[in-house]
A and B are shown apart, each in its own frame.
Chain A
Amino acid sequence: MEKFIRLTGIAAPLFRANVDTDAIIPSREMKRVSKEGLGEGMFADWRYSDVANRVENPDFVLNRAPFRQAPILLAGANFGCGSSREHAVWALKDYGVRCVIAPSFGAIFQGNCVRNGILPLVLPEHELATLVDAAGPAPLTVDLDGQTVHSADGRTLSFGIAPADREMLLEGLDAIGVTLKRLPAIKEFEGAYRTRHPWMFA
C-alpha cells in the first residue's frame, strides 16, 4: 500500500454534512469488478451537469480553479456515511485525493481510507472552520508523523489518530500480511474457542 507521511496541497472545501458514499461514487459508476478508473465517476451527480456526456457543472468546487485535482478535501460531519462500497475510496484515490479532513467520518469509509493510503483526518468543527479561510490558493501541509496541519498563514493544528491507523499509513503496511504473522496465536485461539463453543463446529 502507498505510504502517507506528509502532504502539501490545495484543500477544496466541500462542507455539506452527511455526504454519503452514493454521492462520492454513484452505484451506476461502479461498472466493473475493479478498483481502477473510478476517478471519473467520483461525485458524478454533482460534478457533471450532464452525467452521461460528462459535461462539467461549473458550480461544483472541484471544477473551479484552484481546486481542480485538489489532493485534500475539507468536509462536513459524518463524511462517507452510508454504503460500505470501498469504491468511494478508490474513486477519491484515482482522482488524486490523499487526505480528507472532517469533524467525523462514516466508520466503514474511515477504515477503507486507511486501507488505501488515504488519511481520514478528524478535526473539531471550529478548528476546521479556521482552515476554510486558508483554503484558497494557498496550500495546506498535513504531517502525519507529527500529527499536525499547517496552514499557509502560519497556524498549526494538532490532530489525533488511532495509533494502528497511523502506523498502517506511515508504513504503507499490508494489513493481511501483518495479521498472518500472528497466525500461531490465531490457531491457538481457535483451539480454545472450539472447546468453549463446540456447537459452532458440530
Chain B
Amino acid sequence: MAKTLVEKLWSRHCVADLGDGTDLLYIDRVLLHERTGSIALKGLAEQGRAVRHPDRAFVCMDHIVDTRPGRGDETLMPGGEAFIRETRAAANAAGIRIFDIGDNRQGIVHVVSPEQGIALPGLTLVCPDSHTCTQGGLGALAWGIGSSEAAHALATQTLVVRRPRQMRVRFEGDLPPGVGAKDMILHLIAAHGAGGGSGYAIEFAGSAVAALSVEARMTLCNMAVEFAAWTGLCAPDAKTIAWVEGRPFAPKGTAWHQALADWADLVSDEDAVFDKEIVVDCAGIAPTITWGTSPQHALPVTGFVPDPAHAADANAAEAQRRALAYMGLEPGQALAGLPIDGAFIGSCTNSRLSDLRAAAAILKGRHVAPGVRAICVPGSGLVKAAAEAEGLHQIFLDAGFEWRESGCSMCFFAGGESFGKGERVVSSTNRNFENRQGPGTRSHLASPVTVAASAIAGRIADARALAAQPVEG
C-alpha cells in the first residue's frame, strides 16, 4: 500500500500498536536543554530510574545562558545559573554528553543537533522544546514534547504517540526575488490560521521546497508548530545527503553507504493519500512580516494593518483589537515605515550561516539607523566561527550590530535581557506573543533580510528596495 513519508518513518519505529490509533514508537535521539531538560533528568533521578541509552541523549545549554561576550554560568536572569549547574550535574551523573558553555560546539539545540549530525534523515528525535520540528528539515521525524515525556523517552527509549493526520503543503513555482523560507511559512500561517495545522504531521513539498537549501528547509519546518502542527518535515534528497555527509555524529565508511541505502525510500509514494493538501503558488508570496500578537497576524511588508470592523467574526475582531492595542497600531496603518527601536537576528528559526550571510549582504557598507538597538546572535559557536572566518562579524559590527555568543538570547524574556516596554522590534524569531520578548515589547517577526533592511532604515522596510538578489533565510 502506498505510504506517505511520515507513515514510512512511523512504521519503521513502531514497537507496538496500543490500539485506538496509538502506538509505542521507538525514539532514536533525545535532546535536552537546561530549562526543560533539567527537570526531566531531575524527575528521573528522584524516581530512581536510569537513562536507558545515555549515548543517544544530548544536552545543549541554550535557553538561559548569557550571550554577552565573556560569559560564564552567571546570567542576568535571577537564579538562572541554577538551571545551568543543575542540568550539568544531572547530565554528568547520567552520563549524557553536554554541549556546554565554553565548548565552541555549544549553541541552540536545533542548530547544534543538525550541525553535529545528531539529527539525520530517517531518525525519530524528540526534545522538550516545541521547535524540535525544525530538525524535520533533514527528513527526521522530530517533534516537541513536555518534560514528563522527555523523562519517559530517556527511561524507555520510546514514547506513546497518537497517529497524526497527514497533510502535505506543496509550495509550487519560483519564489520572487527577496522572498525566502521565513516568508513562505508566515504566508502559510496567515492564510490558514495559527490553528490550521492542528492534529497534522505536515510534509512540506513542491518545487519551491526542492529548490530551498537544507538550512532554509529547517526555517520552514521550525514554524510548523506555530501552525499548530504536530510536526513538519521535508523528504531528504541529494542536497540533504551532501549537507549531512561528514558531520561528526553522521555515519562514516560502510555505515554511511548503509545509511544512503536506508534513506533511498524516504519519500512519499506517488499515490500516497494525505488527509489534507494545501497548494501555495509561490509567485504570490511577498516579504512577510507580522503586525500583531499571533503568527497568523502576518502581512506582506507592503501591507496595511487590518481593521477589526472587517474581521470574519466577533472573536476575530476582539483578538485583532487586542493585538492592535498591544502593538500600538491603528487600523489601516501601513506597516512599512513604522519606526522601530530594535532589530534582532537569531533564534532556532534564523541564526544559521545562510541567514547571517543574507543579512550581511544587506548590511554591508551600511549602518543601523540612530536610536535602533541591533543584535545578532549566531545559532551556535561553530556558526559564529564560520561567520567570522568569512568576515561577516565585521560587517555586522561595522553596521552597528552587537555580535554575541550563541544561545536563544532575546527570542524570549526569562528575566534577563529584553527590549523595553513599548519598544518596537523587528525580529527573525518565531513568536510575537504578548510579552514574549519582554514585558510590553512589540515584536514583528520577519526574515533576516527584512530585519537587516529595517535596522538600516530605522523603520519597517522592504529589503527589495535595497537589494534585488535571491535570499534563502
Contacts and interface: CB of A to CB of B under 8 A. Distances in A.
Given A20-B431, A45-B434, A115 B149 contact: yes
A159 interface: no
A185 B156 CA distance: 11
Interface string B427-470: 00001011110010000000000000000000000000000000
B459 to A, nearest CB: 27
B146 A89 contact: yes
A197 B262 contact: yes
Contacts of A126: none
B322 interface: yes
Interface residues of B, number: 78
B198 A104 contact: yes
B232 interface: no
Interface string A147-188: 000000000000000111000000000011001101101100
A17 B39 CA distance: 29
A60 interface: no
Given A104-B195, A162-B21, A33 B145 contact: no
A164 B414 CA distance: 35
B20 A163 contact: yes
Contacts of A31: 78-79, 415
Nearest to B123: A200
Contacts of A81: 194-195, 226, 228
Given A179-B152, A185-B16, A86 B128 contact: yes
B16 to A, nearest CB: 6
Given A27-B414, A162-B162, A189-B15, A202 B252 contact: yes
A63 B147 CA distance: 30
B22 interface: yes
Interface in B350-402: none
A171 B431 CA distance: 37
B4 interface: no
A190 B315 CA distance: 50
Nearest to B20: A163
Nearest to B157: A186
Interface in B14-34: 15-16, 18-22, 24, 26, 28
B47 to A, nearest CB: 7
Interface string B225-249: 1101010000000000000000000
Interface residues of A, number: 56
Contact of B254 (A35, A176, A182, A202): A202
Interface in A67-100: 76-78, 81-86, 89
A32 B38 CA distance: 10
Contact of A112 (B87, B148, B228, B315): B148
Given A176-B151, A179-B160, A85 B322 contact: no
The 8 closest A-B pairs by CB, nearest first: A202-B255, A28-B415, A199-B258, A199-B255, A112-B146, A86-B146, A78-B195, A115-B148
29 contacts: A17-B316, A22-B412, A26-B413, A33-B83, A34-B39, A45-B435, A78-B195, A82-B226, A84-B128, A84-B129, A85-B35, A86-B128, A104-B228, A107-B230, A108-B144, A112-B149, A115-B148, A163-B19, A176-B47, A176-B155, A179-B155, A182-B15, A185-B24, A196-B12, A197-B262, A199-B254, A200-B28, A200-B259, A202-B258
Interface of B: 12, 15-16, 18-22, 24, 26, 28, 35-36, 38-39, 42, 47, 49, 77-79, 82-83, 86-87, 122-123, 128-130, 144-149, 151-152, 155-158, 160, 162, 194-195, 198-199, 225-226, 228, 230, 251-256, 258-259, 262, 294, 296, 315-316, 318-319, 322, 412-415, 431, 433-436, 439
Interface of A: 15-18, 20, 22-23, 26-28, 30-35, 45, 51, 76-78, 81-86, 89, 104, 106-108, 111-112, 115-116, 162-164, 175-176, 179-180, 182-183, 185-186, 189-190, 193, 196-200, 202
